[in-house]
Structure 1
């Protein structure tokens, strides 16, 4: 239904007649008959002489149908300032500082019956999980004897420190020897976890390979090495380098290792091995000399076939026989020191000897002769072949 709008005031045509018939009823029993009530509406009851306000609505049966919110459900008296009767309030409400007995509060006695007295006690078993928690605790009078390192003068003794905690990579400083012939020399260092230096158990550091990571002390300062060997004016100086994973794969700073080193000059004279044991920095400052000429190392004669692998450390002179095809490549030659040469004698009785030098240089030999190959290192490997009659 739409709204009725008026341009002025409404005025009843008879006296003592409310504009809304629902707002004045004879008795409280007539509340149930108020038509189309709404929450918040007020109505006056002649019987009580009081004003009331509707708080909620409920459904009403209209014929055979049930209409929701069609009847007054709850209402209450609406007080005005002039209608307040203090005596009535005193009868209706308790004083602010009033008391209650336990029985005045519904269910309170039942709730209290399930509680313990304020000063009650508990056994350990009364608390779920308490005994298990206590079993995992130490006794109140326990100590930590033997569990921690002792303090000596408020410090932990060094022997209780873990071996590698805070350890830095070791720096090895080794003396450059004097060579009686004024030759250049190169350094070889072997490092092992045991003192036996069994084949395959040590790591070899060659100056010819790692010279760029080494420095030499001379003329009051250190200089980075620019070449694979040292000579005059560096005799009596010191070569230093710091170990790393590239030089020494698997290296662990602070771990104890065994080391040996020697110097080899261009004529293959050597100082012989000198050794030391270390876990940190090493400085061996004793000058050493190469004042003897050791005999050349000769490898036992062997049968060669296929790709021939040549290692200078196996012998400066190596002898082979061949009855089938043999190929010698510079790429398969290793450990020839700077300024040194490897002599290889190959006696042919069958097959073809093929020698591949640098680049695409290729030579073949198929006569029954002894061929001498000379592989030299003056910054780059070179091979030369001569024949016997």
Structure 2
């Protein structure tokens, strides 16, 4: 028997950013409190996922071509009708609506859930203008699709979000924004970043060995700083700005920049002149050992709303490696974490000031571990599990 019904138009058929939050959160609820999740999803046939091959696992998948407006509209209606039937015939304790185009159905879901007493939740992953930022790196047609999705998200969050019993949100900053802009109340929110709480599985001795091995591999001298960037080459990830900052630091101090990316070709192209930059690619499971070589991690972001209200899980991967994270102050929750826990350095454009901070940087391992644990699903999901009436060791 399932406790939660997730109704989503987000991509849960293949692995990726949206999938990771939904799936990891569902797994954490199951492993921590025995709370089972069912899924009804609108699935884009262009992803090429065959029936039974969906990454989330068993569920109801309504397949449509997202680029065909008529198919997409009929898909939404079939999805919601299916969800209503499941709610009326099931014994769910909560229904979670997640994704573009679904918040308008809050009243229908509440009516369906009335007999069972289930509460209806909205799942807000990030700023409703995210699609417009993604569109900067995309072809015209796909970019137009994401701009239209951002418009729909903005409309739905402003009009319907306040009607939900509860709202999942990744950051405190976005909660404040939604209370201010959409008329929501602070008590409606669960603040749940995509944070598994994972830490390196190896001990201190292995960490030192990995550090020695990888610094030797990349030719890092004992008196040089190794700056590490891990991620893609999309414009919002600020890889060119990272290389520019590295070169400014290099004028003042011995240093190397290591770029770790699943797409090294695109990363090289983003930087341009990159003869002085090291590149490499690893499986995600191997990154913690490579991170041991770092002296600092670099995670720059632009001063735009998408970043203001985010909580990048990359930040927590860095913090788990017990090295300071250099970042701009524009991801508001992250800036607060750095101020409160001392796990990084805020870069405001003054390179001399940054280098001085780097010279004196101390990153306390216990502070890093406490932060990773504090924002992990094991802690952030406790209020939701309590509202469901579940009892588990994590509570």
TM bracket, shorter-chain basis: under 0.3
TM-score under structure 1 normalisation? 0.22
More strand by share: 1
TM-score under structure 2 normalisation? 0.22
More helix by share: 2
Greater Rg over alpha carbons, structure = 1
Higher relative contact order (CA 8 A, sep 6+): 2
